[in-house]
Amino acid sequence: MLEICALFCSFFALIPFDLTTECQQVHTALEEKIPGYVWNIREIGDGNINYIYLADAKEKKVLLKKALDYARINPEKFPLPIERLFFEYKAYTLYQGSCPERIPEIYFYDQGHGILAMQYLAPHVILRKGLLAGVKYPDLAEHLGTFLGKSLYLTSCYHLSETEWCANADLFSKNVAMRNIIESLNFTDPFFGSTLNWWTSPELDAQVLEIQNDPKVQAIVQALKDKFLTFPEALCHGDLHTGSILTTENDTRVIDTEFAYYAPISFDIGMLLANFITAALAAKAHGIESNWLFCLAEDTWNSFEKTFRGLWKNPQLSVDDKLQEIWSDTLRLIGIEIIRRTIGVAHNADFESIADRNLKVSIEQRALSLARKLILEAEKLVPNAKAFEILLKAG
């Protein structure tokens, strides 16, 4: 009897933990590509778009991303092509050439099953969770500023030959579905209205109306949207918020590159700094210090600028002029990202996990007013050590 029981148990130990069709496909792909292990597979993700699995064999762990033909956040509203994973894989491939130390190792891409397998990073946590828990990462600004400088400059039209740059821009221009999401969710819906938008109502209603009825705000956002769609300056991650970064105290890795697109250099920087500022604005509600988070934004910019200047070798264009343009657009994009995370469809835990409604409202009101100011007055702020402090006071 004991023997039968042991046989029964060992038989089931060979079968993955979760037997959904998707999980079964993950299991099949793994057995094909990395044979010789007994994989225990479980779903561990909670993102907006894909399913994430941890495959755990005794001696080996692999993280697998499985794309379905819709976004998990809302299958009916967001049908999505599985090919987004191809662009994610291609973006990792370019990052492998420009800044390999800041991404996970990629093991395989299985186009047929829509699966991307990569290094399981442990004990890494999603940066957003770490920041909201008050963890201070001593190397984070330097890691991310360097990542921005290297990944953006080394894939740009200022560095690559025209042939290479055109080939890259052409390839990523086919990531149309993801570009359309950015176009709608970041640049259109929050500023021009959409039934998908939601916010803390009625408290924020007046501010939302003010933003959506301000022709100056709309003209600036429209201009940035046009620039995003028509200026393939460098490879942008496309979704570089604090949920797309894994950290330990001394390591930082950028993940989730499925929105990758050739776009203006400022796009990634604006989104990332906006998410630091969002965390800073929410800090009080989470019982954490805000100043370090504002400094994180400032230090990340400084590290980006230093890296970018160091790499710049373009005699026809002044690096100062280019950085000035990137800076002003970055500020406007910070404003755009803060607004879309407060009144668009996809919000962040920074604000949404605040239980005290009055406190949440006051933080969101401050965020909206700061963001609007950034969009309208970006020209007035010069990139110096005090810029983010001024921002804080202005908000």
Binder to ligand SR1 among 152, 181, 240, 338 (CB under 6 A)? Answer: 181
Identity of the residue, 59 or 76, whose beta carbon is nearer to ligand SR1 in the bound complex:
76
Identity of the residue, 28 or 48, whose beta carbon is nearer to ligand SR1 in the bound complex:
48
Binding mask 218-247 for ligand SR1 (x = CB under 6 A): ---------------------x--------
Tokens 């999603």 -> residue:
126
CA distances in angstroms from 115 to 195, 255, 388, listed in the order given: 32, 15, 41
Identity of the residue, 10 or 74, whose beta carbon is nearer to ligand SR1 in the bound complex:
74
Binder to ligand SR1 among 52, 229, 346, 349 (CB under 6 A)? Answer: 346
The set of residues, in sequence order, having a beta carbon less than 8 Å from that of 310 and lying 6+ positions away, is 149
- Binding to ligand SR1, residues 29-58 (CB under 6 A): 48-49
Q: Is 67 in the site for ligand SR1 (CB under 6 A)?
A: no
Residue 392 interacts, among ligand SR1, Mg ion, none and using kind-specific CB cut-offs from 5 to 8 Å, with none
Can you list the positions of beta strands (E) in the chain? 40-43, 51-57, 60-66, 106-110, 115-119, 125-126, 234-236, 245-247, 252-254, 261-263
Using only the alpha carbons of the chain, give its radius of gyration.
22
- Cα separation, 334 vs 330, in Å, equals 6
Identity of the residue, 110 or 256, whose beta carbon is nearer to Mg ion in the bound complex:
256
Identity of the residue, 78 or 191, whose beta carbon is nearer to ligand SR1 in the bound complex:
78
From 55-63, 70-78, 137-145, 291-299, span contacting ligand SR1 (CB under 6 A): 70-78
Which parts of this chain interact with Mg ion (CB under 5 A)? 256
Ordered DSSP codes for 21-68: HHHHHHHHHHHHHS-S---EEEE----SS-EEEEEEETTEEEEEEE--
Binder to ligand SR1 among 39, 53, 78, 158 (CB under 6 A)? Answer: 78
Sheet of strand 60-66, all strands in order from the earlier edge strand to the far edge: 40-43, 51-57, 60-66, 115-119, 106-110
Structure tokens given for 324: 């000035």
Identity of the residue, 49 or 67, whose beta carbon is nearer to ligand SR1 in the bound complex:
49
Buried/exposed 321-343: b ≥16 CB within 10 Å, e otherwise: ebbeebbbbbbbbbbbbbbbbbb
Q: How far is the CB of 235 from ligand SR1 (least distance, A)?
A: 17
Q: How far is the CB of 316 from ligand SR1 (least distance, A)?
A: 35
From 71-79, 88-96, 153-161, 371-379, span contacting ligand SR1 (CB under 6 A): 71-79
CA 325 from centroid of its chain's CA atoms = 22
Q: Is 185 in the site for ligand SR1 (CB under 6 A)?
A: yes
Q: Is 28 in the site for ligand SR1 (CB under 6 A)?
A: no
Identity of the residue, 49 or 285, whose beta carbon is nearer to ligand SR1 in the bound complex:
49
Residue 241 exposure: Cα atoms within 13 Å on the Cβ side: 24
Binder to ligand SR1 among 13, 73, 219, 223 (CB under 6 A)? Answer: 73
- 279 and 132 in contact (C-beta within 8 Å)? yes
- 140 and 247 in contact (C-beta within 8 Å)? yes
- Binding to ligand SR1, residues 279-298 (CB under 6 A): none
- Amino acid found at 6: A
Residue 181 interacts, among ligand SR1, Mg ion, none and using kind-specific CB cut-offs from 5 to 8 Å, with ligand SR1
Identity of the residue, 44 or 317, whose beta carbon is nearer to ligand SR1 in the bound complex:
44
Q: How far is the CB of 33 from ligand SR1 (least distance, A)?
A: 27
Binding region for ligand SR1 (CB under 6 A): 48-49, 71, 73, 78, 181, 185, 239, 346
